[in-house]
Amino acid sequence: MTEMNQKHTCNTSHKGCVSLVPIFNHLDTEQMNEVMETVQSQSFKKGELVYHAGDKSDVLTIVNKGSLRLYRLSESGKEQLVRVLRPGEFTGELALFNEKVHENYAEAMEATSVCQITRSQLQALLVKYPSISLKILQELSSRVDQTEQQAARFTTESTEQRLASYLVELLGSDSQSDIVTLPLTKKDLASYIGTTPETVSRKLKELEELNLIKRISSSKIKIVDEDNLLFL
Amino acid sequence: MTEMNQKHTCNTSHKGCVSLVPIFNHLDTEQMNEVMETVQSQSFKKGELVYHAGDKSDVLTIVNKGSLRLYRLSESGKEQLVRVLRPGEFTGELALFNEKVHENYAEAMEATSVCQITRSQLQALLVKYPSISLKILQELSSRVDQTEQQAARFTTESTEQRLASYLVELLGSDSQSDIVTLPLTKKDLASYIGTTPETVSRKLKELEELNLIKRISSSKIKIVDEDNLLFL
DNA sequence: TAGAGACATTGATGTGGATCAAGTTCTTTC
DNA sequence: GAAAGAACTTGATCCACATCAATGTCTCTA
């Protein structure tokens, strides 16, 4: 991986890595044991890079605990948040399957442990258990869909609409309660929806004045009127 | 598939479908023959839809001849061009691998012939020839990358820069000559780079005044200064 | 080959949201 | 727990680009 970060390889408790993640957790116990022996566990402290653009390391990195922030730098050096990886999600597929260099940066947002599997190891597993391919294909095709949708929103919706959609989507998974917790700083949130922190601030204020949301604290927001949020 | 379009199933000459496309053309002759027997050939006239948003048909569609225009409609009904599929490229993976409905519309841009393979047929092939999975994984991961880059451009680059990048990318594949042929109408081009036809018109004029390009005809453009196009 | 409809250009105008700048509040850390 | 520094908010200004409108040009088709 990146040479700049010391690695804390711990050979115990790969279990989480394997049994938790969608691409492996359909296997039976014995097969999982086999997978566990091939994956390497690794930990990163907040702010450390798992890989960076230009890096060619060919491992698949699966988040076990914590979260990774994937971002890009534009030609002009502006940072664009691509997505946040949560436990069970993976990254590194471009370098792994296409033998290309990474185009993204992957940074730990908090203390984060991941499992890594090399190209040759994964290839062996894919041949032996084709169902793993299928899971990865599922995940990748749904990522293509999500990213296309995200791109389409940049050109067809206003900043306010994108912010509102984002809040409602947070609610979706969170559910149960009508209070969402922003998992990102305002700066990252702004970058993700394609705007600036100043504008996020102003738009949240506007949404509050329209009685669509209520700001509880800086990172907690109550969704008052989900339907009209999507109607903007 | 879509019930609105008559299908022109021709059971001859699947050969192109199979031997031309990256996901199959690494197989040996005998294996290809096997694949040929499972795929279905189909033709579409200009403007016909191969599938549409909401459709749940679970086939992988591979372009053999011609081209398909993939687009989305936003909530507000605005059309966003996602990408153009050329021979060898495929679509339909979301519905196929995730058993979800299509989110895109796929429309023939000209007389187009495609090959289709159903979920169960493909699954059988994937188990038998794991190298096919690998090819699909390659293609999908590179699509994720491209789409992420496209999304990042919407937020970090100006319209002029996006247009310039687009022209240079056209040159890349076309190569040899420094003249590119726009494969899209101005309307589609505008949608693809996230702007309006009016602005495309104006920006092309500006680029010409800067001596970076020269418009030969409405669809042919000479790239005069590739380096500075990327420097904008 | 004329005429209609689609597509492309150009101009005039308005505005959403970026940018710059100045406070304010929240977190670190020593 | 005080000081330093992030992160956040609010205000004032500006501009890139959308939108609306009019005209010009291409290309089907009858």
Indicate if the pLDDT at residue B160 is higher than 90: yes
Mean of the per-residue pLDDT values for chain B? 87
- pTM attached to this predicted model: 0.88
User: Within this chain, do residues B10 and B77 fall inside the same structural domain, yes or no?
Assistant: yes
Domain for residue A141, yes or no? no
Whole-number pLDDT of residue B17: 75
Range in A222-226, B12-16, B185-189 with the lowest mean pLDDT? B12-16
User: CATH number for the domain including B71?
Assistant: 2.60.120.10
User: Within this chain, do residues A161 and A56 fall inside the same structural domain, yes or no?
Assistant: no
How many CB atoms sit inside 10 A of residue B143's CB? 21
Confidence of residue B149 (pLDDT cuts 50, 70, 90): very high
- Domain carrying residue B54: 3-132
Domain for residue A124, yes or no? yes
Domain for residue A138, yes or no? no
User: Within this chain, do residues A123 and A169 fall inside the same structural domain, yes or no?
Assistant: no
**Domain edge (last residue) among A72, A99, A132:** A132
A138·B97 Cβ contact <8 A: yes
Whole-number pLDDT of residue A196: 95
Whole-number pLDDT of residue B76: 74
User: Within this chain, do residues B19 and B124 fall inside the same structural domain, yes or no?
Assistant: yes
**Domain edge (last residue) among A132, A163, A187:** A132
Segment B207-212 mean pLDDT: 92
pLDDT in tens, chain A (232 residues): 333 343 444 444 556 678 888 889 888 888 888 888 899 999 888 888 999 999 998 999 999 988 999 999 887 778 899 999 999 999 999 999 999 999 999 999 888 899 999 999 999 999 888 889 999 999 999 999 999 999 999 999 999 999 999 999 988 765 678 888 898 989 999 999 999 999 999 999 999 999 999 998 888 899 999 888 988 8
Segment B18-45 mean pLDDT: 88
Confidence of residue B13 (pLDDT cuts 50, 70, 90): low
Confidence of residue B203 (pLDDT cuts 50, 70, 90): very high
Distance CA A107, CA A84 (A): 10
Number of domains in chain B: 2
Q: Nearest to residue A1, comparing CAs of A48, A38, A35?
A: A48
B157·A75 Cβ contact <8 A: yes
Q: Nearest to residue A225, comparing CAs of A153, A149, A171?
A: A171
Domain for residue A101, yes or no? yes
User: Within this chain, do residues A93 and A197 fall inside the same structural domain, yes or no?
Assistant: no
CB contacts < 8 A (A, B): 136
User: Within this chain, do residues B100 and B49 fall inside the same structural domain, yes or no?
Assistant: yes
Amino acid B198 CA to nucleotide D22 C1' distance, rounded Å: 14
Indicate if the pLDDT at residue B132 is higher than 70: yes
User: Within this chain, do residues B124 and B24 fall inside the same structural domain, yes or no?
Assistant: yes
Domain for residue A180, yes or no? yes
User: Within this chain, do residues A118 and A196 fall inside the same structural domain, yes or no?
Assistant: no
SS3 A185: coil
Distance CA B189, CA B85 (A): 14
The continuous run of DSSP H or E covering A154 comes out as helix A130-156
From the CA of B7, how many Å to the nearest CA of chain A? 27
Amino acid B189 CA to nucleotide C13 C1' distance, rounded Å: 25
- Residue B8 CB-density burial (10 A; 0-12 exposed, 13-18 middle, 19+ buried): exposed
Domain for residue A146, yes or no? no
User: Within this chain, do residues B162 and B56 fall inside the same structural domain, yes or no?
Assistant: no
Distance CA B106, CA B51 (A): 5
Does residue A129 sit at the B interface (CB-CB below 8 Å)? no
A155·B80 Cβ contact <8 A: yes
Domain for residue A10, yes or no? yes
Whole-number pLDDT of residue B175: 66
Q: Which residue is nearest to nucleotide D9 (CA to C1')?
A: A201
Confidence of residue B174 (pLDDT cuts 50, 70, 90): low
Whole-number pLDDT of residue B130: 87
DSSP letters of chain B?
--TTS------S--HHHHHHSTTTTTS-HHHHHHHHHH-EEEEE-TT-EEE-TT----EEEEEEES-EEEEEE-TT--EEEEEEE-TT-EE-HHHHHH-----SEEEESSSEEEEEEEHHHHHHHHHH-HHHHHHHHHHHHHHHHHHHHHHHHHHHS-HHHHHHHHHHHHHHHH-SSSEEE--S-HHHHHHHHTS-HHHHHHHHHHHHHTTSEEE-SSSEEEES-HHHHTT-
- What are the pLDDT digits (tens) for B53-64? 999 989 999 999
User: CATH number for the domain including B178?
Assistant: 1.10.10.10
